[in-house]
Amino acid sequence: MKKIELIQQNVDEVIKQIFSIAIDILGGPRKLVEYRRLTWLASLMEAIFVIYLHNEENKSADEIAEFLGISTQTAKAILQSKPEYAKIKLESGESCEKTHIAGGIAKLAYKTWKETQNGK
């Protein structure tokens, strides 16, 4: 991981909060086990970092990719993901459009987290 300057010093704590919201969106820990979606967790954490770094730290896809050790294309796919398509995939199991599912869930969780921050 390349070091980048961050505005927020407690990034890991914030990421854990957003991750917890994302787990709830997915139906909670039991649903993840039940539906064998545990493999999603690494992608979900990665996507949350991408969304957070882009929105809160104003980092580009290239900067995020270098920081996280992922490809720029992966960072861009996450940033371009469509939350509404991810929800459809979760609810019906069918995908109406191609999207980065973890990215879509990360965006939903980030939005919920942001709303709770604005309400404080």
78-101: pLDDT as tens digits: 999 988 887 777 776 665 566 688
Q: Which of 58, 70, 48, 57 is nearest to 2 (CA)?
A: 70
- Average pLDDT of 34-51? 86
- The answer, yes or no, to whether residue 69 has pLDDT greater than 80, is yes
Whole-number CA gyration radius for the chain? 14
pTM value is 0.84
In the chain, the amino acid numbered 43 is S
In the chain, the amino acid numbered 37 is R
5-35: pLDDT as tens digits: 766 678 899 999 999 999 999 889 888 887 7
Cβ atoms of residues 107 and 81 within 8 Å: yes
Q: What is the DSSP string of 27-86?
A: T-HHHHHHTT-TTHHHHHHHHHHHHHHHHHS---HHHHHHHHT--HHHHHHHHT--HHHH
The DSSP output letter for 26 is T
